[in-house]
Amino acid sequence: MDASPEPPQKGGTLVLVRRQPPVSQGLLETLKARLKKSCTCSMPCAQALVQGLFPVIRWLPQYRLKEYLAGDVMSGLVIGIILVPQAIAYSLLAGLQPIYSLYTSFFANLIYFLMGTSRHVNVGIFSLLCLMVGQVVDRELQLAGFDPSQDSLGPGNNDSTLNNTATLTVGLQDCGRDCHAIRIATALTLMAGLYQVLMGILRLGFVSTYLSQPLLDGFAMGASVTILTSQAKHLLGVRIPRHQGLGMVIHTWLSLLQNVGQANLCDVVTSAVCLAVLLTAKELSDRYRHYLKVPVPTELLVIVVATIASHFGQLHTRFGSSVAGNIPTGFVAPQIPDPKIMWSVALDAMSLALVGSAFSISLAEMFARSHGYSVSANQELLAVGCCNVLPAFFHCFATSAALSKTLVKIATGCQTQLSSVVSAAVVLLVLLVLAPLFHDLQRCVLACIIVVSLRGALRKVKDLPQLWRLSPADALVWVATAATCVLVSIEAGLLAGVFFSLLSLAGRTQRPRAALLARIGDSTFYEDAAEFEGLLPPPEVRVFRFTGPLYYANKDFFLRSLYSLTGLDAGYSATRKDRGTEVGVSNRSLVDRKDLGSVSSGDGLVVPLAFGFHTVVIDCAPLLFLDVAGMATLKDLRKNYRALDITLLLACCSPSVRDTLRKGGFLGEDQGTEEELLFPSVHSAVETACARREELMAADSAL
């Protein structure tokens, strides 16, 4: 940018000269130019489009083999080992067979490797999404006439619906519970993925930012309590129906209390032992994580030992303990999700898409900031959306970024998304060879793994007191979201969180802080006179600061604050003056007669200071924007002050506010020029007001 010439001076003071704004094109011309640019086909444009859609093309040729390979392979192996038990366990939440969780983990890792912009985020099965999928699956199964109390896992169910791959491709009339369940899950996943892809195409990556961190933390807390409740029956080995709708958590605990006498002793003992081992191992790992180069795969070790014990102890046959059952190997033929089911779950897919997008984008941006690179929110939407759209044809369900596995990836030396390929290879090995070995794994062990994975989310309740001290409004959003998730439903909790977030935002702008400012010593700075001692109020001038936008919701509060702090209800006083009533005697003037000053009396040019000040300066630096109602408020305020012979000046207006004032008619030849009403600083406005007053006094003395 070329250096600007020296600013002109007027009377020894610098004067701001506005640059001429560039000639803007009309809306039609702008749209034509953008459309022409988008539709122009050339080799550079095609390459940029492909590289934008598949970022792997850009970073893979620059891969530093010696520097990155060891860390990526190690982190990929560790995540793959963790994925296998989690995938089998999370199938309980989704109400689906374990094989589908393995499919989901495999495809999600490969697709995000190709399309993701984050180097560290792990995309795959996520407990919150699994819970949301499972609730929709249970509801649709019940509507289809299936028994909601029947679980998907177990040898009995597998014999009827998953003993061979042919049963997955037959018509609905020949399709059992598990077959219909995966149809519901894939239809829901495809709809959620389409929403996410559409959001990415429309460049709506910013939408997820409206889900604040307190909202997401409260949602995770409430959903974790719901997940814990859903797994309690597996921990006890009790068969109760899976409740749906309002108060699901309360109804589930009541059913558990009523049937606690039917608990399976073998499952209870196994759950107690597994929980003790897992929790102890996690605590020790957290305490000594700086000494461990690789996290201990506690979940995998517990699953291996539990499977061996269940197999040789014949726990299913002797004690009736529920086991995973037959898990087939290999892949099944792809299948198009049912359009009718897609239509019936379209509304549920919206909340699923929004939650998955919010968690994925927030995690990607968080780790990108901490490691010094950038990500594209819109490309993340496309990547996560494709992780749902494409795998939906291969019997997979909804995925998103997961915090716990991402932290493990970073701790084990992950450098790029090549680690996702290694993780997918580990899952593929299980899919092709090792899956049948988990036949005798008890479901209570899987429930223990799920419950232990909730530690991080459940511990967030300890942050609530600090959040309350920092921001009561954010704490309210947290509590409202979590409580609604627990007491009503997951979807209602999300809606409640959004509602209270918007309500808190509106509340902060509706009643912002207002203050009268005074001068800091001999400096040119002004601060709140009620907050700081020893400040010097400018003589016969009131400086008012309103720390928020001025719009329809807070215009009345703006006026009340100004009138209260200055001691003058300008609207009421101006009306009384127009009617010929003495202004000073009114109680509504909010001033005491003994405090009123007067510069001069009689018929001179100087009007008596009936209110103790001749000018009001509004510090507009915190004023973010004006709407039509705010503009009308300023116009009426200036009109009323003029009727009382008081001048209204504005200082520190931002360019957008100045533009709004200019377009709204606040400035003009008959209203006063911009140089007369707007000032670059509070001090310049105060000095100008005092100088004008002195000129009037001098002229009055001459007369």
Based on the fold, state whether residues 184 and 221 are members of the same structural domain: yes
State the Cα–Cα distance between residues 580 and 586, nearest whole angstrom. 13
Based on the fold, state whether residues 342 and 436 are members of the same structural domain: yes
| pLDDT one-digit tens code per residue, 211-253 | 788 888 888 888 889 888 888 888 888 888 777 777 788 888 8
pLDDT score at 600: 35
Note down the domain range covering 288: 65-146+176-315+322-507
| For residues 196-212, average pLDDT | 85
pLDDT of 170 over the 60 cut:
no
* CA-closest candidate to residue 474, choices 507, 522, 511: 507
Based on the fold, state whether residues 370 and 447 are members of the same structural domain: yes
Based on the fold, state whether residues 113 and 246 are members of the same structural domain: yes
Band of residue 637 on the pLDDT scale cut at 50, 70, 90? very high
- Please report whether residue 642 resides in a domain: yes
3-class state of residue 517 by DSSP: strand
Based on the fold, state whether residues 112 and 195 are members of the same structural domain: yes
Q: Cα 170 to the chain's mean position, in Å?
A: 41
pLDDT score at 143: 86
DSSP assignment of 266-322: HHHHHHHHHHHHHHHHHHHHHHTGGG-SS---HHHHHHHHHHHHHHHHTHHHHH---
| pLDDT one-digit tens code per residue, 680-703 | 899 999 998 888 888 887 776 765
* Residues sharing a CB contact under 8 Å with residue 691, sequence separation 6 or more, in sequence order: none
Is there a contact between 156 and 423 (Cβ–Cβ < 8 Å)?
Answer: no
- Please report whether residue 598 resides in a domain: no
- Please report whether residue 75 resides in a domain: yes
3-class state of residue 215 by DSSP: helix
User: What's the structural domain count of the chain?
Assistant: 2
User: Quick one: tokens of 594?
Assistant: 């003994």
* CA-closest candidate to residue 645, choices 583, 695, 588: 583
Is there a contact between 544 and 550 (Cβ–Cβ < 8 Å)?
Answer: no
Based on the fold, state whether residues 547 and 482 are members of the same structural domain: no
Band of residue 484 on the pLDDT scale cut at 50, 70, 90? very high
Pairing of strands 123-124, 400-401: antiparallel
Based on the fold, state whether residues 481 and 564 are members of the same structural domain: no
Based on the fold, state whether residues 457 and 354 are members of the same structural domain: yes
Based on the fold, state whether residues 441 and 531 are members of the same structural domain: no
* Residues sharing a CB contact under 8 Å with residue 405, sequence separation 6 or more, in sequence order: 79, 82, 83, 86, 122, 124
pLDDT of 187 over the 60 cut:
yes
pLDDT of 588 over the 70 cut:
no
- Please report whether residue 158 resides in a domain: no
* CA-closest candidate to residue 356, choices 322, 330, 381, 391: 381
Compute the mean pLDDT over every residue in the chain, rounded to the nearest whole number: 82
Domain's final residue, options 460, 475, 507: 507
Which range (142-156, 171-185, 526-540) has the least confidence? 142-156
Based on the fold, state whether residues 463 and 536 are members of the same structural domain: no
| pLDDT one-digit tens code per residue, 394-448 | 999 999 998 878 888 887 788 899 999 999 999 999 888 888 888 888 888 888 8
- Please report whether residue 660 resides in a domain: yes
Based on the fold, state whether residues 476 and 537 are members of the same structural domain: no
- Please report whether residue 16 resides in a domain: no
Based on the fold, state whether residues 553 and 409 are members of the same structural domain: no
| pLDDT one-digit tens code per residue, 451-461 | 888 888 888 88
| For residues 267-285, average pLDDT | 90
- Please report whether residue 600 resides in a domain: no
| pLDDT one-digit tens code per residue, 540-584 | 899 999 999 999 999 999 999 999 998 888 888 888 877 766 554
| pLDDT one-digit tens code per residue, 338-392 | 999 999 999 999 989 988 998 899 889 888 888 888 899 999 999 999 999 999 9
pLDDT score at 157: 45
Domain's final residue, options 488, 507, 526: 507
Domain's final residue, options 478, 507, 536: 507
- Please report whether residue 685 resides in a domain: yes
pLDDT score at 383: 94
Is there a contact between 87 and 396 (Cβ–Cβ < 8 Å)?
Answer: no
Q: Which residue has the higher pLDDT, 209 or 303?
A: 303
User: Quick one: tokens of 668?
Assistant: 């003009």
